Amino acid sequence: MKAKINTAGLMSILTKWGIVITILFLLALFGVLMPNTFLTVSNMTTILRSISIVTVIAIGVTISLAVNGFDLSVGSTATFSASLIMTMFIWYELSTIPSLIITLIVILSVAVINSLLIVKFKVPDTLATLASMFIFQGVAMTYSGGGSVSQNMIRLNGVATTGKVPALFLKFGQAPWIILIMLMIVIGVHIFLTYTKHGRYMYTVGGNIEAARLSGIAVDKYRTLAYFMSTTFAAMGGILIAARVGSAQINAGSGYLMPAVAAAYIGFSFGGLGKANAIGTLAGALLIGILENGLVMLSVPYYSLDIVKGLVLAVALGSTYFRKK
């Protein structure tokens, strides 16, 4: 009898804190395998830096998941915002602050289209954002003239550009700044979702939209807000991509979509919450990041990493959805 209760208790600890335990286990494992190189300050910084962009975009996904939606357009949004901010510098020779402001305002057109489709036209979230994913992938490409945006580029009409990317802006892409930005966003969103009434309303909407509506919650308003927030964070992710690389490459953001979705879903089980949450998303991204870093250092070929990432996602989802009868 006693043993039974203990196993049950252990199971519940495992399902609640599985991600954290896995992270600690991986740290220990790689630490033992590579005693001199893995657990160093510089390598830890590398890991944090490598996950920061994914995490910021994943936070956007997290907020859309909190209202039981799903924002597939975050990758395209990141691409578009990277292009936008780079053209502000290189084509229009604006300084950092006005460039950021204009980019963030223009990028909200994605949120407008998403929420219009979802809230007004009642298109299912996944399909609506699938459409806007394609739209803005194309918009970003068309806007930048089908190529990348970098310093000293020649525009399609043959005009040479002289704009420079400000040094201040490039700082955003460096450690420790990029890591601090990520942490601030995670903590801010965590506080928003957990401690403010707006966050609580979002979870309520996500839990049972009809009950939320009949409780007097302005359901449409909160769904719209969620999509505006997810677009904003995706855009910030795009800006960090640009700052990191110093240019805007073709489809730079689309590669981040799936890892971001994975991080957000892995985070569901964090602390036994069973719903999208900011800290869990960070933990999810961290788990993937550590694994990737460790395996690369162990000379596992980069093209095999996806197998491991996929497996981690499968195990995480399995433990989230698996219910012992």
Interface with other proteins (CB under 8 A), residue from 8, 32, 97, 184? 8
Interface with other proteins (CB under 8 A), residue from 42, 197, 318, 322? 197
Interface with other proteins (CB under 8 A), residue from 35, 146, 158, 216? 216
Q: Which amino acid is at 132?
A: S
Interface with other proteins (CB under 8 A), residue from 134, 198, 298, 321? 198
Looking at residues 260 to 299 of the shown chain, list those that interact with other proteins (rule: CB under 8 A).
Answer: 274-275
Question: Scanning the structure block, which residue is given the tokens 């110093």?
Answer: 246
Interface with other proteins (CB under 8 A), residue from 195, 302, 303, 322? 195
Least gap, CB of 3 to other proteins (angstroms): 15
Beta-ladder partners of 149: 248
Candidates 220, 257, 290; CA nearest to 72 is 257
Q: Which is nearer to other proteins, 210 or 301 (CB)?
A: 210
Least gap, CB of 8 to other proteins (angstroms): 7
Interface with other proteins (CB under 8 A), residue from 37, 196, 307, 321? 196
Burial of 211 (0-12, 13-18, 19+ CB in 10 A): exposed
Q: Please tell me the distance from the alpha carbon of residue 60 to that of residue 297, in angstroms, as a whole number.
A: 30
Least gap, CB of 213 to other proteins (angstroms): 5
Least gap, CB of 194 to other proteins (angstroms): 9
Q: Please tell me the distance from the alpha carbon of residue 259 to that of residue 308, in angstroms, as a whole number.
A: 12
Q: Which part of the chain contacts other proteins (CB under 8 A), choosing from 113-121, 124-132, 157-165, 202-210?
A: 202-210
3-state SS assignment for residue 86:
helix
Q: Please tell me the distance from the alpha carbon of residue 159 to that of residue 153, in angstroms, as a whole number.
A: 9
Q: Please tell me the distance from the alpha carbon of residue 37 to that of residue 35, in angstroms, as a whole number.
A: 6
Annotate each residue in 106-125 with x if it binds other proteins (CB under 8 A) or - if it does not, as one string. --------------------
Q: Please tell me the distance from the alpha carbon of residue 25 to that of residue 212, in angstroms, as a whole number.
A: 40
Annotate each residue in 13-42 with x if it binds other proteins (CB under 8 A) or - if it does not, as one string. ------------------------------
Tokens of 146: 């089908």
Residue 240 CB coordination number (10 Å)? 25
Residue pair 77/238 in contact by the 8 Å Cβ criterion: yes
Looking at residues 49 to 88 of the shown chain, list those that interact with other proteins (rule: CB under 8 A).
Answer: none
Could you list the residues that contact other proteins (CB under 8 A)? 8, 195-198, 200-201, 203-204, 207-208, 210-219, 274-275
